[in-house]
Amino acid sequence: MMTPPNTRVLVLGLDGATFDLLEPWIDEGRLPNLAEAIRRGVRGRLRSVVPPYSVPAWTSFATGKHPAKHGMASFWRFSPGLGKRTLNSARSLRSATIWSTVSDAGRRVGVVNVPGTYPPMPTNGFVISGMMTPTEDVDYTFPPELKGEVLQVAGDYAANPYASVSQTTKFLRQVVYWERKREIAHKYLLTSREWHFFINVVQGLDPIQHKFWQYMDPDHPSFRPAEAQRYAPLLEGCYAVADEVVGHRLSLVDERTVLFIISDHGFGPVHKYFHVNRFLADHGLIAFKGERGQQRQTHIRSRRGQALRFAVAGMRRLDFLGLRQRLLDNVARYRLRRMLDLASIPSIDWARTQAYCGDASSEGIYIHRGADGGMSGLEYEKLREFLIEELNALRDPDTDEPIIEGAYRREEIHHGEYTYLLPDIVLDVGRRPYLVTERLAVSGVVEPVHSQDGGRHRPDGIFVAIGPGIRRDAQISGISLVDLAPTILYVLGIGVPNDTDGRVLTEIFESDYLAAHPVKQADPAPAIDSGEPEDAYTDEETKAIQARLRALGYTE
């Protein structure tokens, strides 16, 4: 028995959703639609990629491959030599996706609000890009005329409504406003277009967990009962809107439609910062220019060397009213932060710097072997061995607990043509409450978190599947984000490319369904040109996106 050609797969992404928050609320009856979805289908914790950040994670979902095979290892793409980076975009992708494979099979697709899909690429269907869309003025839809149609239907629409985030009640109201506006457009697209595969991502949960986790977690060091009580109704409203969307998608499940509800990663508390570049500077691996820089490198632990760093840290802590966040937009806050950092630390001498954390969201360390390959292979491996040993031995000075789950050579956990895009040393923070940063103008390797940063990504997202052939009221384990692409293609009766890292999740299906629908393998899609991708952003757009990422704690 072959899969009928009209079979459909519907995917609802809840960016950053975690059962750590959702399970208690489900038990309390506050998320009735998600509870119903779980009762009607299969659920489990979904392992994300390392590190669990949105662009590499959603791209791994879309391709069924880890970053070393699809080329989107971070928000950034690093060029040879430290300190040089460009933003990744849809043009950086080096692998086929679910939607391109489904399109090539002659089926219709809809891809809406998925991070990393700007600029929208032509497909057999429609695309509306999501996070990483630079401004609302650009063409963020395919076909281009869809933008005007969506704006007319919804009355107001934003491809990336969270370009500015803040720890305010106003922002929480904006989350509800924008998710409801976007859902008007999504319902219109679901009913007015033919589709065999449709995905949209509810993005609002991710930024509110970054900024408000401490008000949902009584054990968080920044928890304040009065503020928590003030924010609680608005936070509940944000999750209630997401649950409303779940309810609508459940109504579309029928004898030919399977629904997957997933998140790209989980979430948890951040109690302290782990300043990786300060760690490297303390080991003499970051060099600075000029006499001041030489003194800085030689006496980086001295009282005089710490004085300005303490002053800068003090200025940040004294901003207890959050005035910078309330009065300044992302770009202005980012420029103020950079001004403070540059005032307190000399310029880095990249030629003599041996190791650097160039991007907090990559959670790793790049080693500079020199433009002329001056560092030998043996020296390179000895430096990696030394750093891995030191990182694994690193302890929180207050609790004596390990800061990371482990440090690894990139080839230990990443395998593929684009492994070279990954940091030379990859950090796995796991479920530990530390946020990796690339800051240098700090008072120590480990610092207490500021009140504006409450949550961080964790590796375990959510997975729920409902529909024909899917088991009911079942719980499974051992599933990964990269398993979704093979499983979706299987449901659609399309051969699974044999170069995916994921597998078909056969355990979610009834036995008679599996017997009637054997898994089909296929050859990999033709290789995408592996040359340097064309930039998708202007300099001003890059600065604006960098400021947004900084506001979420993703980068400096």
The secondary structure of 132-196, three-state, reads CCCCCCCCCEECCCHHHHHHHHHCCCCCCCCCCCCCCHHHHHHHHHHHHHHHHHHHHHHHHCCCC
8-269+457-468+485-502+514-543 under CATH 1.10.569.10, yes or no: no
Rounded to whole angstroms, the Cα distance separating 508 from 506 reads: 6
For the segment 87-120, what is each residue's pLDDT rounded down to a tens digit?
A: 999 999 999 999 999 999 999 999 999 999 999 9
CB 159 within 8 A of CB 128: yes
Q: Which token pair is 30?
A: 């506050």
- Read off the pLDDT band of 305 (50, 70, 90): very low
Q: Dump pLDDT digits (tens) for 308-367.
A: 445 545 544 544 445 544 555 554 544 455 444 544 466 888 888 999 998 888 899 999
Report pLDDT digits (tens) over 126-138: 999 999 999 999 9
Q: Mark residue 346 as left, alpha or beta (left: phi above 0; alpha: psi -120 to 50; beta: remaining).
A: beta
Per-residue pLDDT tens for 480-506?
999 999 999 999 999 999 999 999 999
Question: Looking at this protein, which amino acid is placed at residue 22?
Answer: L
CA 236 to chain centre: 23
Predicted local confidence at residue 554, as pLDDT = 77
Predicted pLDDT of residue 301: 43
Find all residues with CB under 8 Å of 170, minimum gap 6, and list them.
none
Beta bridge mates, 461: 46
Model pLDDT, residue 264: 98
The predicted pLDDT at position 294 comes to 52
Answer whether residue 373 shows pLDDT above 50: yes
Task: Say which DSSP state 288 is in.
Answer: B
| CA angle 382–85–527, rounded 5-degree value | 90
pLDDT tens digits, 514-554: 999 999 999 998 877 766 788 899 999 999 898 888 888 77
What does the DSSP assignment read for 107-122? Answer: --EEEEEETT-PSPPP
From CA 5, how far away is CA 220, in angstroms rounded?
51
**Mean of the pLDDT values across residues 254-275?**
97
Averaged over 232-252, what is the pLDDT? 97
How far is CA 40 from each of CA 10, 235, 379, 468, rounded to the nearest angstrom? 16, 27, 57, 11
User: Is the separation of the CB atoms in 239 and 16 below 8 Å?
Assistant: no
Question: Per-residue pLDDT averaged across 5-16, rounded?
Answer: 93
Query: Which tokens belong to 201?
Result: 């991502």
Virtual CA dihedral for 224, 227, 228, 229, nearest 10 degrees?
Answer: 130
- Count of alpha carbons within 13 Å of 141, Cβ hemisphere only? 19
- Residues 441-484 have pLDDT tens digits of 888 999 999 878 899 999 999 999 999 999 999 999 999 999 99
Instruction: Quote the Cα angle for 198-118-188, to 5°.
Output: 35
40-62 mean pLDDT:
96
DSSP 509: B
Torsions phi, psi for 10 (to 5 deg): -115, 125
Pairing of strands 446-448, 272-275: antiparallel
| Stretch 238-243: mean pLDDT | 97
Q: What is the pLDDT of residue 295?
A: 52
Residue 235 token pair: 């936070």
Q: What is the pTM of this model?
A: 0.91
Instruction: Give me the pLDDT at residue 300, please.
Output: 47
pLDDT tens profile 137-169: 999 999 999 999 999 999 999 999 998 889 999
**Euclidean distance between CA atoms 417 and 253, whole angstroms:** 39
pLDDT (mean) for 51-62? 96
The yes-or-no verdict on residue 53 having pLDDT over 60 is yes
Residue 23 is predicted with a pLDDT of: 96
Q: Give the amino acid at 102.
A: V
User: Which residues contact residue 157 at a Cβ distance below 8 angstroms, ignoring those fewer than 6 apart?
Assistant: 150, 151, 181, 182, 185
Q: Where are the domains of the chain?
A: 8-269+457-468+485-502+514-543, 272-448
